[in-house]
A = this chain, B = another copy of it.
Amino acid sequence: MSKKCVALLSGGIDSTVLMYSLIEDYEVYPLTIGYGQRHKKEVFAARNVCEARGDWLLKRWKYLDLGNLRFVLPSALTGVGEVPSGKYNEETMSQTVVPNRNMIFLSIAAGYAEGIEANYVAYAAHTEDHYLYSDTRPEFAVTCDLAIEQGTGGKVRLLTPFISVSKSDIITFGKTFTVPFKKTWSCYQGGDVHCGTCSTCIERRQAFKLARVEDPTEYIAERL
């Protein structure tokens, strides 16, 4: 139980389920990185899912505000243009790509892990991460693991247990750890409740349906 692990936590379903499941076997250090994204609700969600698991976890949670990243990473998510609505096609999806975001997050998490002598960084990439997000693919995870191992002199490795798991299976898995799904956040819009119509909201709703798990989320658009 002394294996330390930095868990990248966005406040969404996938990273929250991953964190809850890792707590069984690791000493987990949640890390949330702000990159100037407009959906700040994510950060509160990250905080809240830690708190829900226990004050000890909330105390370990770290929020790193790198809002200036938006000046070099233009994207609809960081305020350049509007967030597209509806099921995404290639063009609208590409507007939500934050260039190389996951490699940036993984490398920072690895540096943090090395500093606190944690040997692992956990990252919740899964099968349904869209093909346009090239930095969520299995081959990228393998290469990134090697880069992190080399970059930290063999001290840190990457864990991606969901790399071949679907979002609905993640939800089913999360139920066994009583993950507070209602406290997680997916929506790319900056609203107070989930819009229900942006790409990630649609994926969220469909995943609950597929998993046959009750969706506790409040959506502005009640029906798909």
A residues lining the B interface (CB < 8 Å): 31, 62, 64-66, 68-69, 71-75, 98-104, 106-108, 110-115, 132, 134-135, 137, 139-140, 143-144, 146-148, 150-154, 156
Contacts and interface: CB of A to CB of B under 8 A. Distances in A.
A135 B150 contact: yes
Contact of A111 (B72, B139, B153): B72
A112 B69 CA distance: 9
Contacts of A71: 62, 64
B115 A135 contact: no
Contacts of A69: 64, 66, 108
Contacts of A150: 134-135, 137, 139-140, 143
Contacts of A106: 107
Contacts of A102: 151
A52 B101 CA distance: 33
Nearest to A102: B151
Given A103-B151, A137-B150, A151-B134, A108 B143 contact: no
A145 to B, nearest CB: 9
A112 to B, nearest CB: 4
B104 A100 contact: no
Contact of A146 (B72, B100, B143): B143
A99 B143 CA distance: 19
A134 B111 contact: no
A135 B139 CA distance: 21
A31 B18 CA distance: 35
Contact of A100 (B62, B72, B110): B110
Contacts of A113: 99
A73 to B, nearest CB: 5
